[in-house]
A = this chain, B = another copy of it.
Amino acid sequence: MSQFEILSTDPHCAARRGILHLAHGAVQTPAFMPVGTAGAVKGVVPSLLAETATEIILANTYHLMLRPGVDAVERIGGLHRLMAWDRPILTDSGGYQVFSLSGLTRIDDEGVEFASHIDGARVHLNAEIATDIQHRLGADIIMCFDECTPFPVDPSRLETAVRRTIDWARRCKHEFSVLSSQLSAHNRQPTTDDRQLLFGIVQGGIDPELRRRCAGQIVEIAFDGYAIGGLSVGEGHDNMVRTVELTAPLLPHERPRYLMGVGMPLDILAAVRAGVDMFDCVLPTRNGRNAFAFTEQGPLRLRNSVHGDSTEPVELGCDCYGCRHFTRGAIRHFFNSGEMLGPILLSLHNLRFYQRLMANIREHIERGDFEAWATGEMQRYAWTDNQ
């Protein structure tokens, strides 16, 4: 069985409805992955996370390698055991955080050296190390180490980043093959379904030529799936969509496509239309912690005094844990009083909102009316344009 089955495609756009078969279970696509940065989706216990209909989560290699460290994760029994999550997990390579969070002290074709944002310790990371760490963490999907550039960026820096990303992807693939063959040599040959998948990443900012060149090279190396990286870094919705619409068709039809770090509902709808299958974003949980709720009727800011006496749920008709049990008035009170229940309940609501959006997207692709439906939904979520 192929790891990725495409069940149906929309007749009027590039949207696809599929199933991704991974070592820890199947994932219905298009899929949204909540972010469990340091080994926990903030404030959300796994049983309540599962109730949001989440099937796969993302964890950050950068955070985990610094604390508790890959040795500790291995001794605890691996990332799934640490997180108490027995369904699929994807780890990123650490590249994005190295360039955004750490004090970068060296970057060249070999790799990077940076100062940990936790204790300033000097850390070395490159294609081989990032692959090895992710292999040991044991996620279902692991990512190539890439160079992620900010926006805007100097053209020559962008070109160098693309060149390195391609070179590092080749080294990641090689290292991954070595690790996999060591596994075989130890008589621990995994079956098709329980081996890790390695995804390549396409960089290139919003430069069409660089995206084309990078996609061509990455596809030539051949990976289990392909990510579009380096977006949602300040380029705005229109640039993002244009780049995704250009890049997605350059990636093999039969492999899953993952748009990294995106995004708002509007972004997701546009990217699904362009043929993207997977998404991750901190917005549902981060905004939830900040008293911001996503709803089909628009955004709600739960600290607003207008909700003080409200006996309504955050979103009428929502079946999330918070909406089933708590009033807006209660949740506002929790935020005002610094009670953890505020962030907990709104994180759950926002995750459920995102998973319901994904379920609706999948349903409309199956029905063949995604393009028309999505056009209406994009009007509804125009306010989620972060530009």
- A329 and B63 CA atoms in complex are apart in Å by 16
Instruction: List chain B residues, Cβ under 8 A from A25.
Output: none
A333 beta carbon closer than 8 Å to chain B: yes
Judging by beta carbons under 8 Å apart, are B42 and A309 in contact? no
A341 beta carbon closer than 8 Å to chain B: yes
Q: Size band of the A side of the interface?
A: 35 or more
Interface residues of A in 267-299 (CB under 8 A from B): none
Among A77, A81, A333, A345, the one with the most B-chain Cβ atoms within 10 Å of its Cβ is A333
Judging by beta carbons under 8 Å apart, are B76 and A334 in contact? no
A373 to chain B, nearest CB (A): 34
Interface residues of A in 32-56 (CB under 8 A from B): 38-40, 42-48
**Known contacts A39-B334, A40-B339, A67-B336: A344-B81 contact under CB 8 Å:** no
A151 beta carbon closer than 8 Å to chain B: no
| Copies of this protein chain in the complex | 2
A18 to chain B, nearest CB (A): 30
Interface residues of A in 60-81 (CB under 8 A from B): 63, 67-68, 72, 75-77, 81
Judging by beta carbons under 8 Å apart, are B340 and A42 in contact? yes
Judging by beta carbons under 8 Å apart, are A337 and B46 in contact? no
- A45 and B45 CA atoms in complex are apart in Å by 10
Interface residues of A in 225-255 (CB under 8 A from B): none
Complex partner residue of A309 from B48, B75, B327, B343, CB under 8 angstroms: B75
Instruction: List chain B residues, Cβ under 8 A from A341.
Output: 40, 42-45
Judging by beta carbons under 8 Å apart, are A345 and B45 in contact? yes
Judging by beta carbons under 8 Å apart, are B325 and A68 in contact? no
Nearest opposing residue in chain B for A325, CB measure: B84
**Known contacts A45-B321, A72-B309, A333-B68: A81-B339 contact under CB 8 Å:** no
Judging by beta carbons under 8 Å apart, are A84 and B45 in contact? no
Judging by beta carbons under 8 Å apart, are A311 and B76 in contact? yes
Judging by beta carbons under 8 Å apart, are A333 and B39 in contact? yes
Q: List 25 A-B contacts (CB under 8 A).
A: A38-B337, A39-B333, A39-B337, A39-B339, A40-B337, A40-B339, A42-B340, A45-B321, A45-B325, A45-B341, A45-B344, A46-B325, A47-B321, A67-B337, A68-B329, A72-B309, A76-B309, A77-B311, A77-B327, A81-B330, A82-B329, A82-B333, A83-B330, A84-B325, A340-B343
